[in-house]
Amino acid sequence: MSKERKQLFRKLKKSKPKSLDQDFQRFHDEAFEVIDCLECANCCKTTSPIFYDADINRLSKTLKMKRAEFIDTYLHIDSEGDYVLNETPCPFLGHENKCIVYESRPTACKEYPHTNRKRQHQILPLTLKNTEVCPAVEEVVKKIEALYSGPQ
């Protein structure tokens, strides 16, 4: 990750939150007009989502498992105290990169890659990290860089 990109992201934290959100949303929409997640699924292949209690309960029910059995089979608690997958790729990543529990998928998966949410300034470090995982995030960030790197 370039030094310039890190500096820009520090600068973005000081920009107007509403404007930043609007720019991220616009570039998010543009990126997903041309990028198909099913052709990549790198997030599912390389990164575990955080599983919240509601996610665990929902997935346990979908898979007709007891909550404790689901946790024992698929999850562990990471160094930050969050439930995450035991391994990658995600065990729910099926044929043709489709999620076999799509309707019940974890909240973090539904919200990924987080480039269309409000209050972007609060998650800029995560967005920067996600450029290494998701080509759509990289495209969004390139456009943000072009927009915010010039004279303001």
Q: In the predicted model, what is the mean pLDDT of residues 58-74? A: 98
For the segment 93-97, the average pLDDT, to the nearest whole number, is 96
Compute the Cα dihedral for 116, 117, 119, 121 and give only its sign: negative
Q: Are 36 and 88 in contact (CB under 8 A)?
A: no
Parse the chain into domains and list their residue ranges. 3-42+113-149, 50-111
Alpha helices in 1-152 (DSSP H): 3-12, 17-34, 42-46, 53-62, 67-74, 107-111, 124-130, 135-149
pTM of the model: 0.87
**pLDDT confidence band for 79 (50 / 70 / 90):** very high
Q: Is pLDDT of 95 > 90?
A: yes
CA distances from 12 to 17, 21, 73, 115, 124 (A): 9, 11, 41, 14, 8
Indicate whether 122 pLDDT > 90.
yes
pLDDT value at 2 more than 90: no
Distance separating alpha carbons of residues 50 and 72, to the nearest angstrom: 15
Least confident of 9-23, 62-76, 87-101: 9-23
